[in-house]
Copies of this chain bind each other. A is one copy, B any other.
Amino acid sequence: MGGDTGADVVVPAALQALADDPQLALILVGDQDTLREVLARHNGSAGERLRIHHASQVVSMDDLPSHALRSKKDSSMRVAINLVKEGAAQACVSAGNTGALMATARFVLKMLPGVNRPAICTTLPTLRGHVHVLDLGANVDSSAEHLFEFAVMGSELAAAIDGNPAPTIGLLNIGEEEIKGNEQVKQAAQLLQNSKLNYIGYVEGDGIYAGDADVVVCDGFVGNVMLKTSEGVVKMVVAFMREAFQRNLFTKLSALVVLPVMRALKKRIDPREYNGASLLGLRGIVVKSHGSADAKAFATAIREAVQEVKQNVPQRIRNKLETVLVEERVG
């Protein structure tokens, strides 16, 4: 492991995940001396359910994906994905450089047949529950066919994780343009309308959080801006709230009174409760934890990976894609 999140986050997260799930076994990949030391500091030790696998290199947040691929063949990231490829692990969870993670996963694991572009999918809270949104930055300039693929993959992930056989699919669009939306989105809408997916039409930015659809599909540039913007708004609101409570003695005291309310609110919008973005379209399970995730958030990402393993998400996506492709050929 490396990147923003080092052993100090991953090790306690791993210990927590193992305590929570007796069926789970984990392999920590990284510098073995560091891992042993940090494990000891957290009163943990390696054993049957928690193995250490040495890797001598680290992919930094600044490394270009191409550089990581070429020159860091013994990085924790590469070695962890190799373990998935070899079948020694069923999933890889990483908080490292997203571009390098995606490139390495594509190179080592390969894509599922029928997938032209993998996508990054995350879960976000909504007024009604939660929503799966993809793509969040694996692709820019997605064509209608790519958006359609994302819809198939997102639909199957939602079906697997939420146990909802026909999740509703919305296509992210805008309502303000003369000729509503752009060409790619309009063509993707056609493809979705003609498919057997539970497509419900366009969703606007505010509809994501209103819970208008179970799955929202968009180009990675748009999705990444959407996600980062949301984080920015929440940070700003929290900062303004803090300032408002700091104003005078009365407001400071009132902060104490509303502490339980604020805790309840925080829990509902806490990105740590939703951490863990899935790299979809690969022949293996890779979950990306947020670069600034703490141990609790990293444990959430591990749980996401466990869910995907239990539901065999890559195989489900593969089957779904085959059905869809057959439908397209027949229809």
Within A207-228, which residues are at the interface with B (CB < 8 Å)?
207-210, 218, 220-222, 224-228
**B137 pairs with A239, CB closer than 8 A:** no
**A137 pairs with B205, CB closer than 8 A:** no
Question: What chain B residues lie within 8 Å of A255 (beta carbons)?
Answer: 258, 261
For the complex, is A306 an interface residue (Cβ under 8 Å from B)? no
Residues of A within 8 A of B (CB): 64-66, 98-99, 102-103, 120, 125-127, 136-141, 172, 174-178, 181-183, 204-210, 218, 220-222, 224-237, 239-241, 244-245, 247, 250-251, 254-255, 257-258, 260-262, 264-265, 268-269
Q: Given A205-B229, A229-B230, output 15 extra A-B contacts at Cβ < 8 Å.
A: A102-B178, A125-B236, A127-B236, A138-B177, A140-B177, A174-B221, A174-B225, A176-B224, A205-B231, A206-B232, A230-B230, A233-B233, A244-B262, A247-B261, A257-B257
Given contacts A65-B178, A182-B140, A258-B258, contact A237 B237 (CB under 8 A): yes
**B235 pairs with A233, CB closer than 8 A:** no
Of the listed residues A138, A221, A241, the one surrounded by the most CB atoms of chain B closer than 10 A to its CB is A221
In Å, the complex CA distance between A231 and B237 comes to: 12
Chain A interface, DSSP helix/strand/loop, else mixed: helix
Closest CB in chain B relative to A189 CB, distance in Å: 14
Question: What chain B residues lie within 8 Å of A226 (beta carbons)?
Answer: 205, 225-226, 229
Closest CB in chain B relative to A99 CB, distance in Å: 4
**B232 pairs with A234, CB closer than 8 A:** no
In Å, the complex CA distance between A222 and B172 comes to: 10
**A228 pairs with B206, CB closer than 8 A:** yes
